[in-house]
Every structure is written in structure tokens, then in C-alpha cells.
Amino acid sequence: MSTIHEGDKSLLEHLDIRQINCLNESEDHPLISILSSKTKNTGGSYLLSDADEQLLLNIPFNQTIKIRSLVIQSSNPAQAPKLVKIFINRPALGFEDVEDADESAAAQIIELTEEDTSNGNPLALRFVRFQTVNSLHIFVSSNQGGEDETRIDAIDVLGVPIETTKNLNELKKQEEN
Amino acid sequence: MPLEATMMIIDNSEYMRNGDYQPTRFEAQADAVNVVFQTKTDSNPENTVGVMTMANKGPEVLVTHSKDLGQILQAIHATSSKIGGQIDIPTAIAIAQLALKHRENKNLRQRIIVFVGSPLEGQAADEKAMVKLAKKLKKNNIAVDVVCFGDGIEETTEDGRSVLKSFVESTSSGDNSHLLLVAPGAHLLSDVLISSPILSADRAGAIPAELGGTGDASGPAAAAAGDQFEFGVDPSLDPELAMALRMSMEEAQAREAAERAASTSNQNTSTPSAQPPAAAPVAADPTDDEEAALLEQAIAMSQDVEMDASRPTADAADDADMDEDEDEEAAIARAIEMSMKGEEEDSTPKK
């Protein structure tokens, strides 16, 4: 399963932090706490669900990217996500849109194993479906132990950015030279 | 100052024709909608507010995500001729939820404010169904405030529970949803609303301290709990009105003091018989006296006012009593002095 290609890198540096939001996140453990560093979270913070076990993560990027694989890590095996549906470029997504979504509506549906989530294995995505991603939406439908709360400690997105001049940070650097 | 998209659901059922709130329930509600809109948009320029109705033929969205007061007023005006039918809270909330979901700026947190002035019927009266709906709202990160008035105020069970109370409690995440009950009375619906927890977060810090604002969230709520302001008006709501009230109060006190002083001096000099203060002006000469005294007071007042204006009114409330005492003494002293002079030489030099 280890499908780390040459040239793939973490795309979290292209996150649009201000637009990140998550439905059903708890007040004390929001999604932003594990993504705000723009790197894979290694600190003590984590994302926890609130009213029930489901979560809907909306992760927009500030430039178009191609995603090859995804890492979802959880330190508590029972609370780790199990059934996950992944969508792309659907900024106005709600739970009612995703609960009944099948393989054709979602970009991909993955059933995670405890091993994947505890080790943080990169999950290979169907690369052809993730060629022009502006925003990534991850719907966590259930967790491994059927618990009331789902916990995610870290998320990483691996792939390649599409070369554009949208990344203003780089633009400034070149002007300085 | 929360960044919020708000959807207000207003009641336009037949019950809103009732006149137990001034001038009618519907007009009182319109006023409250106006207040909520102003507070929300003042709190943060990015905030948006929408309005929808939930009775008549069916729930109807009138304004979506606007920052324009005109649109809100127009919507309310259009609704005022369409009062009828019965409210349908669950459907209205579902529609409001959809409207909020399609907000342009995803940074805005979602909030629904429901005005209920009619009794709950059907699904809305079923606690289980409402709690289920509340859970769904909570899951979608939507906060809900409910304002109950008139027939919307439910009878609580023995342990103090009601359907809307459990509904709001189930929605609340981090104390972001509130239930407000407003019984009919002398106070305005909008006045109660503005000092309630529903708007306190938006009002906190919005009013600078020198205008009588509190600057912290506890202020308005605490003030509302006290419910007894100096003149029955919250000075932080309308500093100018509070100032005007205080000025007229001081003026009246000064006048009384002058009259008292004039009557006592009359007793001392002219007539030994006890004369009531009101009868004092019967004598021919005191008119000039009084005029001079009043002029003197007016000058003193205007100086006072300047002092007052340069000082935060929040403080003024505390030492107002002291000030008044001082004023009173000073006024009496001045009045006595004036009347003494008046006796000696009728034409006092005017400053």
C-alpha cells in the first residue's frame, strides 16, 4: 500500500487557514487546532466530534492541487474514523448531502482499518479523481469502536501543487530578488 | 464580537394582532428585529442578517444575508399586511438552516433567532421531535436563540421544563444559544432583548466607556438583572437621554431649593407667619429675585453639564448622589445669598 511517489510532498502549506471549518466539531477541540501550523500535527491537540460520532471537515486550499494520498491519524483506536467519504470542490456541503452519498457522488469512499489510523499510513487515493482540487471535504461517517465521539489527531495531504501564480508568498520572494 | 450570519424567523400568525405588547405584538416584534439587525451589523461589519416568516401560507424567506437595513424594513412592512395562519417552527428552522448553509463567507458562524408569539402546535409541541431537531442543528454548528412572548410563553411542567427550553438547551454548545421569555408589561420587547444574553456578546465592547458602555460582556446582563436604573433607563443604552434626565432632575432640585430659600428669607424679614413655599411669589418683589437666582443657577448648571460631559457617565452614576448633595447645598447657599442681596438692592449686577 505504500504508494509514496517521487516528488510528492505535504500540501498543507497551501491551506487556506481562514476558510477552514468543520461541522460537529467540539468547542474545545476544533479542526483548526490540528491544521493551523500548516504542517502535520505532532502536538497534543486533536479534533473531537461533538453531538455524535460524525464529522465533516472542510479543507480549502489557496491554490489548485493534485492529491495522491491522504493520512488520517488517531491515537485512540476505538475513536478512530472508520468509514470515510471524500469529496472535492463542494464548498457548501452539509450532513444531509453526504450521509447517503454513494461511490458516484463522492470522489472516493474508504473504509479505514485500525492499523491505518494508529500508524498514520498514507492512503492511496484514486489519483485521476483528484486532479484539480481546490477544496477537500472529508466526511467521517463512523468510528472503529462505535463510540459517541470520533477523534482525529493529525491529517496530512500528499500530492503535487499545480503550477500557478496563485501562491502570493512565492511571488513576493521573487520580487525581492 | 462574534463573526456571524444570522437568520431571524419572525412570527406573523393571527396571534400577532394582539395588543398586549405596545403597540401590537407584530409592531413590537418589528422593533425588536430592527434592534437585532442594528446590533449584529454594528458588532462586526462582516456580519449578515436575514429575515423570514413562519406563518401565513407557509414559511417564506424575505431577506437573505443582508447588511442593508432598508431591505429588512421593507420585508417587515410587506409582512405587516400578510398576517395570518399558524406558525410552523420545524419547517421554518429547516429553511433557515438551508439559507444559512449557502452563506457566501464560510467564516461566519451560523445563528437562527426565532420569535414565537403563538402557542406551539403539532410537531413543535412534541419535545422529542424538537430535541432531535436541536441535535441536528448542533451538529451543523448552528446556534439558536428563541424569544418567547405572548402566547409563545409556555406553561412549564412541575420541574420547570418546557419544550422550547429543552430545545434551546439541546442546541447550545458552549452556551451559545439562549431562551428569552418576555411577559407583557410596561417595558418594550426590544428593550428587554437588547439587555438580554442574546445580544450581550455583540454589545460587549461596541460602546466605548466614555459613552456609558461597559466594555465587558457581564455589563449589560448584570445591569438588566438589577433592573433599577437611576431614572428607569439604562444609561448605557441612551447616554443622551440619561444626561437630559439628570439635567432636568438637577434643575428641578435647584428650583425647589431656591423656592425654599426664598420663602424662609421672606419669613425672616417680612412676615413672621408661616407661609407655604408655593405662596411665596405672592409678594410683589420676588419676581426679580427669582429671575436673578434662576440665571445664576442656569450658569452653574451649564458649568455642571460641561463637567459631566467630560467625565464617563458610568462613573457619574456612582457619584451622582454626592454631586446632587453638593449641588443642593450650593444652590441653597446661592439662593440665600441672592435673596439677601435682592432685599438690599433690587437690581443685582448680572454676570
Axis crossing angle, helix B127-139 with helix B163-171, rounded to the nearest 10: 20
Q: Which of A107-116, B191-200, B220-229, B255-264 has the lowest mean pLDDT?
A: B220-229
Q: Which of B204-213, B272-281, B287-296 has the lowest mean pLDDT?
A: B272-281
Q: Which residue has the cell 446556534?
A: B143
Give the pLDDT band (50/70/90) at residue B324: low
Does B351 touch chain A if contact means CB atoms closer than 8 Å?
no
Beta bridge partners of B148: B116, B181
Q: How far does the CA of residue A19 sit from the closest CA of chain B (Å)?
A: 6
What pLDDT, in 10s, does the model give residues A58-115? 999 988 999 999 999 999 999 999 999 999 998 888 888 888 888 888 999 999 999 9
Exposed, middle or buried, B22 (CB in 10 Å: 0-12/13-18/19+)? Answer: middle
10-49 of A, contacting B, C-beta below 8 A: 18-19, 21, 23-27
Q: What is the pTM of this model?
A: 0.67
Establish whether this prediction's ipTM goes over 0.85. Answer: no
Does B106 touch chain A if contact means CB atoms closer than 8 Å?
yes
Contact list in A for residue B107 (CB cut-off 8 A) is 18-19, 21
Cell numbers for A104:
458516484
Contact list in A for residue B135 (CB cut-off 8 A) is 51-52
Q: How far does the CA of residue B63 sit from the closest CA of chain A (Å)?
A: 19
Contacts 24+ apart (CB under 8 A), A75-78: A75/A46, A75/A118, A75/A151, A75/A153, A76/A151, A77/A114, A77/A117, A77/A118, A77/A144, A77/A145, A78/A143, A78/A144, A78/A145, A78/A147
What pLDDT, in 10s, does the model give residues B14-35? 999 998 998 899 999 999 999 9
Q: How far does the CA of residue A28 sit from the closest CA of chain B (Å)?
A: 9
Closest residue on chain A to B94 (Cα): A96
